[in-house]
C-alpha cells in the first residue's frame, strides 16, 4: 500500500513537471517573454545535450558536486562531533546554546569576503565557506537530538556502569539519529547552494561560474540548461539521502 502511494505521488510530480514545461513553451510561443531572456524548452534541452557531448558541462558538473560533497562531509564530521559533545553535557548546552543560536542566522555568503581575505580565491576557500554554511543545521540538530533523549535512559546507563562512549553509542546516538539525518538533509541543500555562490564570486570552475558567464553573455539556452542541471543535482542528492535515511531507520517503521 505504501509503495503504491509513493508511486502515485511520483507520477503526480511528473505530471506537474510536464505541465510546467508546457506552460513554459506556451509563454515563449505566445511572445509574452523575449527568447533572449527565456528560450523555448527545446533550445534549453539542446544546449544541455550539447554541453555534455561537445562542451565541458560534465567537468563543470563534477567540479560542483565535488565541492558540495567535500564541504558537506566536513560539516557533517565537525557538526555531529561537536553536537554530540554539547548535547551530552547540560553545562555545555546552558553556556554555549545562546552563542550558537546567535551565530546560526549569520548568512554563510556573508563570510565569503572574510574567507577570501584569509584563503584567497582558492579551492580551500570554497570548501571552507560550504562547510561553514552546512555546519549549523547538523550541529544544532545533533545537539537537539542528544538533549531530547529520555533522562531515565541516562540514569539507567549510570546504574549499569556504562562508560561515556558506551552511553553515546548505545543510547544517545540511536535516539538522536532521526534529528541528525534531518540536519544532514538541510545541510546538503545548503552545501549545493553555497557551492554555486562560491563558484560565482570566486570564479572557480563549475556550474555556478558557467551559469554566470552564460547570463552575462545573454546565452539564455546555456543559462537554463545549467539551471535545469542544478535542479536535477539537488533532486537526486536529496532522494539518495532520503533513501539512505529510510534504510538506516527502517527499525522505526511499524510492521
Q: What would the pLDDT profile of 99-134 be if each residue is shown by its tens digit?
A: 777 777 777 777 777 888 888 878 888 898 899 889
Return the C-alpha cell found at 242.
532520503
In the chain, % of residues over pLDDT 70? 89
- Amino acid 218: pLDDT: 86
Model pLDDT for residues 9-18, shown as the tens digit of each residue: 767 777 887 8
42: pLDDT strictly greater than 80:
yes
Question: Residues 6 or more apart from 88 whose CB is under 8 A from it?
Answer: 146, 164, 167, 168, 172
Lowest mean pLDDT among 68-72, 107-111, 141-145, 228-232: 107-111
Angle at 100 between CA 151 and CA 239, to 5 degrees: 80
Question: Distance between CA 62 and CA 231 in Å, rounded?
Answer: 15
Confidence of residue 255 (pLDDT cuts 50, 70, 90): very low
Confidence of residue 91 (pLDDT cuts 50, 70, 90): confident
Instruction: Identify whether the C-beta of residue 37 lies closer than 8 Å to the C-beta of residue 220.
Output: yes
Question: Residues 6 or more apart from 41 whose CB is under 8 A from it?
Answer: 21, 24, 25, 28
Instruction: Identify whether the C-beta of residue 108 lies closer than 8 Å to the C-beta of residue 51.
Output: no
Model pLDDT for residues 161-171, shown as the tens digit of each residue: 667 767 777 77
Lowest mean pLDDT among 27-36, 55-64, 101-110: 101-110
Question: Distance between CA 95 and CA 104 in Å, rounded?
Answer: 15
Q: Tell me the three state secondary structure of residue 24.
A: helix
DSSP labels for 107-154?
Answer: -GGGGHHHHHHHH-SSHHHHHHHHHHHHHHHHHHHHHHHHHTS-HHHH
Mean pLDDT of the chain: 82
- Amino acid 73: pLDDT: 94
- Amino acid 192: pLDDT: 92
77: pLDDT strictly greater than 90:
yes
The residue ranges of every structural domain in the chain are 43-252
**What is the pTM (predicted TM-score) of this model?**
0.84
**CATH class, range 43-252:** mainly alpha
- Amino acid 242: pLDDT: 84
Question: Residues 6 or more apart from 6 whose CB is under 8 A from it?
Answer: none
Burial of 184 (0-12, 13-18, 19+ CB in 10 A): buried
Return the C-alpha cell found at 231.
535542479
Question: Distance between CA 172 and CA 145 in Å, rounded?
Answer: 8
Quick one: average pLDDT of 189-218? 88
Amino acid at each position: 500500500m505504501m509503495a503504491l502511494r509513493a508511486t502515485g505521488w511520483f507520477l503526480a510530480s511528473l505530471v506537474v513537471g510536464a505541465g510546467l514545461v508546457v506552460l513554459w513553451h506556451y509563454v515563449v510561443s505566445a511572445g509574452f517573454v523575449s527568447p533572449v531572456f527565456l528560450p523555448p524548452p527545446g533550445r534549453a534541452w539542446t544546449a544541455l545535450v550539447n554541453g555534455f557531448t561537445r562542451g565541458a558541462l560534465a567537468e563543470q558538473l563534477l567540479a560542483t558536486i565535488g565541492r558540495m560533497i567535500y564541504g558537506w562531509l566536513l560539516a557533517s564530521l565537525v557538526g555531529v562531533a561537536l553536537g554530540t559533545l554539547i548535547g551530552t553535557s547540560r553545562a555545555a548546552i546552558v553556556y554555549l546554546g545562546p552563542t550558537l543560536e546567535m551565530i546560526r542566522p549569520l548568512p554563510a555568503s556573508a563570510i565569503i569576503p572574510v574567507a577570501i581575505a584569509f584563503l584567497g580565491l582558492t579551492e580551500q576557500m570554497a570548501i571552507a565557506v560550504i562547510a561553514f554554511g552546512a555546519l549549523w543545521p547538523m550541529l544544532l540538530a545533533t545537539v537537539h537530538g542528544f538533549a531530547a533523549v529520555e533522562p531515565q535512559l541516562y540514569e539507567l546507563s549510570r546504574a549499569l556502569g556504562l562508560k561515556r562512549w558506551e552511553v553515546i553509542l548505545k543510547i544517545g546516538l540511536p535516539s538522536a539519529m532521526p534529528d541528525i539525518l534531518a540536519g544532514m538533509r538541510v545541510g546538503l541543500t545548503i552545501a549545493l547552494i553555497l557551492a554555486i555562490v562560491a563558484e560565482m564570486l570566486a570564479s572557480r570552475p563549475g556550474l555556478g561560474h558557467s551559469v554566470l558567464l552564460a547570463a552575462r553573455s545573454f546565452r539564455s539556452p546555456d543559462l537554463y540548461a545549467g539551471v535545469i542541471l542544478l535542479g536535477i543535482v539537488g533532486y537526486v542528492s536529496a532522494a539518495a539521502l532520503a533513501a539512505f535515511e529510510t534504510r538506516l531507520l527502517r527499525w522505526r517503521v511499524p510492521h
